[in-house]
Amino acid sequence: MTEQIERSLVLVKPDGYRRGLTGEVLRRIEAKGYTLAALNVLTATSEMLHAHYAEHEGKPFYEPLCEFMSSGPVTAVVIEGQDCIKGFRSLAGATNPTEAAPGSIRGDLGRDWGTSVQQNIVHGSDSPESAAREIAIWFPGL
Ligand code: DAT
Ligand code: MG
């Protein structure tokens, strides 16, 4: 069997950071067995966020989303482990925190705060291509 160590880009979004949930998210990632390859706390620029969410350009939530994501610090993390892209998406739960299953990050820790599904605590890459593209935005030179 070939060992396939995968990387994913995880963000603890400004709502998660403000609510003091960064440690809880990192705890769940480590408890699952993934390792932290890089970590940075920063307030993202508008340019970074427009690039990060480029796939959503033109959708009604794109601009408000980029604005929310630059409203305060985020914790950007590169995680590592076999199949960690799919594995973290499973830890994160469904996009809508109202509907996300209990046991997941969004299901246990998230809710609608009057902004529908915008504030859902975490981001996780959805494919190896997205992960490579996103890691280059958040960790240039890694
Ligand atoms: P995910 O973050 O689960 O991959 P996505 O890529 O479809 O979900 O959307 C990116 C983020 O944009 C999502 O985490 C929250 C926000 N978002 C998605 N759909 C939205 C909507 N209909 N209204 C407001 N925000 C939305
Ligand atoms: Mg997505």
Do the beta carbons of residue 92 and residue 84 sit within 8 Å?
no
User: Residue 12 is encoded by which pair of tokens?
Assistant: 């603890």
Distance 1 CA to ligand 2 centre (A): 30
Provide the domain count of the chain: 1
Beta-bridged to residue 77, according to DSSP, are 10, 39
Each residue's pLDDT expressed in tens, for the chain with a length of 142 residues: 566 799 999 999 999 999 999 999 999 999 999 999 999 999 999 999 999 999 999 999 999 999 999 999 999 999 999 999 999 999 999 999 999 999 999 999 999 999 999 999 999 999 999 999 999 999 998 9
50: annotated active-site residue: no
Any idea what the CATH number is for the domain that residue 46 is in?
3.30.70.141
* Beta-sheet pairing, 35-42 with 5-12: unpaired
pTM of the model as a whole: 0.97
Looking at residue 2, what is its pLDDT?
Answer: 61
Domain residue limits at 93: 5-138
Among all bound ligands, the one having the nearest atom to the CA of 117 is: 1
pLDDT at res. 4: 73
Q: Which two tokens stand for residue 105?
A: 């990050």
Residues enclosing ligand 1, CB less than 6 A? 61, 65, 95, 116-118, 120, 123, 126
CA of 5 to the centre of ligand 1 (A): 27
pLDDT at 3: 67
Q: Are 66 and 49 in contact (CB under 8 A)?
A: yes
